[in-house]
Structure 1
Amino acid sequence: MTIDESNAEDVEMSVSVRNVGGIEQASVTFDPGITVVAGENASNKSSLLGSLGAVLGGSPPPLRGGADAGSVTLDLDGERYTVELARAADGRPVVDDATPYTADRTLVDHFVSLDEDNPIRRAVVDGGDLHDLLMRPVDTEAIDAEIDRLHAQRTDLDERIADLDDRADTLPELEVRARRLRERRDEVSTRLESKREALAAADYRTADEATQDLLDALEEARAERERLRDRRDTKRRAVESLRDDLDAVESELSALDADLGGESVRSRLDDVASDLSALRERKGRLDETIDALRPIVEVNQALLADSRLPEGFDEGEVVDRLDPESEAITCWTCGQSVARTDVREQVEAVEAILQAKREERATVEERIEACRGRRSDLEARLEERSDLAERRRHLEREVEERERALSDLGERIDTVDERIRDLEADLDGAEADDDLLDRHREVGDLEYERGRLERDLAAVEDDIEAAEAAAAEADTLREERAEIRDRLSDLRDRIDRIEREAVETVNECMERVLDRLDYDGIERVWIDRRSDDHETVFDLQVVRTSDDGTVYRAAVDTLSKSEREVVGLVIALSGYLVHDVSATVPVVVVDAIEMLDAERIRGLLDFFDDHARYVVAAALPEEAEHLRPAFDTVSLESPGIATQ
């Protein structure tokens, strides 16, 4: 391995590869800046760059032929990252364990690993959906779900604010009522004090002892009636509050029953249990079928793979002297000689059945999970309904007990009223001063009137306090609603902002790169952003110049393949900038640019170097030789890299 150290600075990046692609063992160190990996076609440049992309967090690379395990290790910024590969029972390579540089595979596959299979490069070459690819890191479904959630939250706040406003709107009327009640109470209190003073100043010496006793008893009875009336009013308010709670519980029960479509929760639970049982039985049958087919596939794959060649054969001799597909092998079931192609066809047929069964099982497992989710939801609803029903029964008992207490208080008040009437009748028949009796009655009536006014005033003051609290709560909810409004506006604008930024970045980058690479006949390449059936579309546009200098708009497919590849690379790098990928992955890996000459490769890589800490690119030896004075160069012909 030869490296030009002229650009070395900062922290090195080291990659070690074992049994990946065509690489048996390789260890390469990259300095910050641009590094060109030089090698002929089929020299495993792509295996090395694909391994780097995988350990950065991209799609896993293929295992080396004949190897059962492989690995890629990355040392960067003082940390080590790894991808461990293994061969599955069906022969496919799988990731056995991984701690990649980033867990965001979309970022790496779309904007870091810019090989010939890069989705954005392929979309430009083949006419794919650029909008979907450039916007892939933006979770639009999650944004839409968040918008729906905020809409529901805002609707709930609107309803609560409207209810609170209705309660707060009663405040002026309540304050007027409270003022009038205070005025009447103060008036009655003044009259009561005057009557009491007059009664205290009266000369009772003319009243006999029996009359005095009647007056005392009458005063006690009236005081007792006031106490009982106060208790009755308190209990009546408590009953009204309990009835409000009971109405709320009834509403919740009705809403829950309506949400269930009139069916009982228990009945729906039974249906779900039946579905779950049937799905489990179906999965069990699929498991049995898969378990029966898998060994057949594995044994026959092993049989087909057992094609070791005699010693001394090199690769050319193998091609010239042996056609593996025509080779006969011994069937492990019947012992007869069978053409390899026949066995392969049968294995592929069984593999197709096995894959179909696995997919069917996956579908059944998803339905099982869905059933379990429905069961959990129904069980939660059943528990909720049970709690509500128990709450309703408790409230009904409370209301019944309070109403009995109210009835008892009413009977006790009636009894005291009767006693007061009897005492007043006894006083009428006694030889008492009529003026004295009238004064006692006036004092009693005024005491009752003042008590009633104070109770009414207390109730109105409670309502005023509740209305003021409702107004304050409504103001708080309005602030919350304003925050939700701003959040909704931000979410609606977010996708639009990213789309605009993506288009602007692509067009700016495209203009700069085309100027650097100096393509004859290409005047401009850019993206038009437009709406189509409520969906945003990114249209790639091309303006060319004819030999006579005429400027005209042309179709994308008028670009050469190399020009389209460059356009794809630039658009992918634009995504790297738009989504600030450098903050997550400071590396860009560029492969499959053999169609470009050395000068254009240099211009392209210089542009990439402006935006990434490490740029690793593959090039053929002749181009790499021209680039060696400007960039670090890694040769895959080094003894440190062993290939097949």
Structure 2
Amino acid sequence: MGTSQHTQEQSPPKQATLSVSNIGGIDETEVAFEQGVTVLSGRNATNRTSLLQGIMAALGSDQASLKADSKEGQAVLEFGEETYQQTLHRRNGTSVTEGDPYLDDPEIADLFAFLLESNEARQAVARGDDLRDLIMRPVDTDAIKAEIQQLEQRKNQIDNELDELDNLENQLPDLEAKRTRLIDEIEELHDELETAEEELEAANTDVETRREEQSELDEKLNELRDTRSELERVRNRIETERESIEALENEHEDVEADLEELQAGGEANLGRLEAEIETLQTEKNELNEEISQLQRTIQFNEQLLEDPGEFLGGEADNNDGPVTDQLLSDADSGTVTCWTCGSSVATDQIETTIEQLQSVYEDRLNERSEINDDLEEKRATLNEIEENRSEYQRANRRLESIDEEIERRRDRVEDLTDDREAFTEEITELETEIDDLETDDSEDILEQHREVNQLEFEIERKESERDDVEDKIASIEERLDDREGLQDRREKTTEELADLRTRIDQIEDSAVEEFNEHMESLLEILEYSNLERIWIDQTTRDVREGRRKVTKSSFDLKIVRSTEGRTAYEDSINHLSESEREVTGLVFALAGYLVHDVYETVPFMLLDSLEAIDSERIATVVEYFESYAPYLTVALLDEDAQALEDRHKMITEI
């Protein structure tokens, strides 16, 4: 058996074979199809619609009806090397389905490919409903919004990194100027050191006499220089640690401020919102089930009116006997015998019941639309609360990390302070020892030694500072090398965001464009006498969702007729003829079929209940639709099928 959701990466198989048992009015049948148009030709009550329901069932739809006197029915589709099947069972008065059909989710096919009389797209046009909500139903707007939110976060992160690189780049001129200044200062100090060493060498004429004394003195002076160098390093490290502590404390204040804002984020409402969403989803699921049951009930009663004999185990013209005769007699006299209790029921009473069921069906559709809007709003609020909660947790973790880092650096400052005091005491002791070693004769030489030592220390400090500056410059330049990649990522993310933000608008625009283009082409071919144009006008309107006012798109069907004098005037959907209205509904379904690429998901399109259109125009519509659906199956009366019999495959026996 094959898997169930398909995308036609290659052409679909050239042939298909369908086996149907106990669906609609069919006991059992098998029919072969080829790509292109297949016409089911026959009189009323010859199971043409039932065969279409069999195709729908095998493809995955739950809109097929089980034969009235059967507890189980089945549809099997052999399609290429794969086989797909769905079984219908009657349980507790309701028909349920199971199996491995062609589609996992038949919603989009039910809307735009299975165009029977009860098809929702055709009915929406006939009733004058807002067509925008129906054409956009297959679009997962929640997923699009979630993806937009993720991309916005990614773009913000990239923007922050680019801003940081800009700040680093702005630091480069000052750092480079500082490096140049340090290099110049180091060169000057080297010159001074060279002069001081020359003066010391010239003054040190009695080296042999004072060798021991000088040696000890030099040792102490070297030790003094090293100790002062260590002291300076400790002081610099203390200063650096204090600057880091100050920066961390500033960041600590910023994170605490963020936490105060996030604490007002509605955490307490999270559980309530989740419960409300679960309740609304349950209500929606119940409504979906009720809508499906209503649709099947309406379809069942319509078939009962069309062909009462079908519900006594077969077709009226193929059965003999008093029961069938009585049923046909009742139908001719304006009554129908109830298949459950045997009593006679007036056909107009059944028609009234159908109208009442249709009204309830429309009410349930409106209720589902309202629940969908409420679900969308609550899910958006829930996402916002959960995002605030994540931000709050991240801020708390950062706060803890900052506190730990501050504590570590304070401990380091305390240790460094102890080191500084120890070095200061050591320097004092060394200076005392050096003073004891100094004599009047050596005072000048000692002073020159001090000067040399001080210059060497200063050079070392400047070179260390220069190295730090060069490391910072190298680090910044390395970071700046990432800028081009970041800018490319930002550009790609911005493009993805723009595409997502306009995707819904693009689908709406495409639907309007497809409808208007095909409607114009068909009206030109069909030549309705005074019907100039039918098109969808895309407008916007403000609606209230909960406490918010939002702007929503709306599809308004516009109609222009002309008088005998060719004066144009605007008309309404209510004034269209039944033929014009049916054609308009079919074109709207075709627009949805093309906009949502339904042909890539399911290669079948089904047409039924075209009797309101005359034979020549039916042939024109079929030929027009043929180019868009790999398999187009049409149920027609014999007289309507004659216009197509020379060009397409005909099936007359089911």
TM range (shorter): 0.7 to 0.9
Q: 2:575 aligns with which of 554, 558, 563?
A: 558
- Shift in CA distance, 262/621, structure 1 to aligned 2, threshold 3 Å: closer
Q: Determine the structure 2 residue equivalent to 1:399.
A: 409
- Shift in CA distance, 255/383, structure 1 to aligned 2, threshold 3 Å: closer
1:560 shift after superposition? 0.7
Partner of 1:86: helix, strand, or coil? strand
Q: 2:21 aligns with which of 11, 18, 21?
A: 18
Q: 2:651 aligns with which of 634, 639, 644?
A: 634
Conserved in 2, the CA contact under 8 Å of 1:106 and 1:136?
no
TM-score by length of 2: 0.74
Q: Determine the structure 2 residue equivalent to 1:448.
A: 457
Q: Determine the structure 1 residue equivalent to 2:584.
A: 567
Partner of 1:531: helix, strand, or coil? strand
CA distance in 1, matches of 2:234, 2:477: 27
Structure 2 unmatched ranges of 5 or more: 1-11, 280-311, 313-320, 344-367, 373-378, 543-550
Deviates more, 1:547-556 or 1:614-623: 547-556
Pair 1:29-2:46 in alignment: no
CA distance in 2, matches of 1:322, 1:634: 31
Amino acid aligned to 2:455: L
1:108 shift after superposition? 0.7
1:152 shift after superposition? 4.2
Q: Determine the structure 1 residue equivalent to 2:109.
A: 108
Q: Determine the structure 2 residue equivalent to 1:207.
A: 210
Q: Could you give the per-residue CA deviations for residues 110-141 of structure 1, whole angstroms, max 9, x where no partner exists?
A: 22111112222112111012222233344444
CA distance in 1, matches of 2:17, 2:324: 32
1:213 shift after superposition? 0.9
Partner of 1:593: helix, strand, or coil? coil
- Shift in CA distance, 395/133, structure 1 to aligned 2, threshold 3 Å: same
TM-score by length of 1: 0.75
Amino acid aligned to 2:65: P
1:252 shift after superposition? 4.5
1:422 shift after superposition? 1.1
Q: Determine the structure 2 residue equivalent to 1:581.
A: 598
Match runs of 1:126-137 below 5 Å: 126-137=127-138
1:542 shift after superposition? 1.9
CA distance in 2, matches of 1:186, 1:67: 105
- Shift in CA distance, 633/166, structure 1 to aligned 2, threshold 3 Å: same
- Shift in CA distance, 326/596, structure 1 to aligned 2, threshold 3 Å: closer
Q: Determine the structure 1 residue equivalent to 2:622.
A: 605
Q: 1:414 aligns with which of 409, 415, 424?
A: 424
Deviates more, 1:590-599 or 1:394-403: 394-403
- Shift in CA distance, 251/313, structure 1 to aligned 2, threshold 3 Å: farther
- Shift in CA distance, 72/235, structure 1 to aligned 2, threshold 3 Å: farther
Match runs of 1:227-266 below 5 Å: 227-230=230-233, 233-234=236-237, 237=240, 240-241=243-244, 244=247, 248=251, 251-252=254-255, 255-256=258-259, 258-261=261-264
Pair 1:596-2:613 in alignment: yes
Match runs of 1:202-351 below 5 Å: 202-203=204-205, 204-207=207-210, 209-230=212-233, 233-234=236-237, 237=240, 240-241=243-244, 244=247, 248=251, 251-252=254-255, 255-256=258-259, 258-261=261-264, 314-315=323-324
CA distance in 2, matches of 1:159, 1:524: 54
Q: Determine the structure 1 residue equivalent to 2:499.
A: 490
- Shift in CA distance, 552/84, structure 1 to aligned 2, threshold 3 Å: same
1:503 shift after superposition? 2.6
Q: Determine the structure 2 residue equivalent to 1:517.
A: 526
Q: Determine the structure 1 residue equivalent to 2:557.
A: 540
Conserved in 2, the CA contact under 8 Å of 1:75 and 1:81?
yes
Partner of 1:170: helix, strand, or coil? helix
Conserved in 2, the CA contact under 8 Å of 1:598 and 1:627?
no
Conserved in 1, the CA contact under 8 Å of 2:259 and 2:392?
no
Q: 1:72 aligns with which of 69, 72, 75?
A: 75
CA distance in 2, matches of 1:602, 1:54: 27
Conserved in 2, the CA contact under 8 Å of 1:111 and 1:575?
yes
Q: Which has the higher contact order (CA 8 A, sep 6+)?
A: 1
Conserved in 2, the CA contact under 8 Å of 1:21 and 1:63?
yes
CA distance in 2, matches of 1:182, 1:617: 90
Q: Determine the structure 2 residue equivalent to 1:85.
A: 88
Q: Could you give the per-residue CA deviations for residues 565-620 of structure 1, whole angstroms, max 9, x where no partner exists?
A: 11111221122223333233222111111222322221111111122211101112
Q: Determine the structure 2 residue equivalent to 1:50.
A: 53
Partner of 2:144: helix, strand, or coil? helix
1:562 shift after superposition? 1.9
Q: 2:637 aligns with which of 614, 617, 620?
A: 620
CA distance in 2, matches of 1:95, 1:231: 81
CA distance in 2, matches of 1:493, 1:65: 49
CA distance in 2, matches of 1:579, 1:484: 25
Q: Could you give the per-residue CA deviations for residues 445-497 of structure 1, whole angstroms, max 9, x where no partner exists?
A: 11221122123223323332344345444554333333233233333444444
Pair 1:192-2:202 in alignment: no
Deviates more, 1:236-245 or 1:165-174: 236-245
Partner of 2:66: helix, strand, or coil? coil
Q: Could you give the per-residue CA deviations for residues 32-86 of structure 1, whole angstroms, max 9, x where no partner exists?
A: 1111112333333222212323433444422223433333222223222222333
Amino acid aligned to 2:94: R
Conserved in 2, the CA contact under 8 Å of 1:506 and 1:574?
yes
Q: Could you give the per-residue CA deviations for residues 72-102 of structure 1, whole angstroms, max 9, x where no partner exists?
A: 222223222222333344x3222323332x4
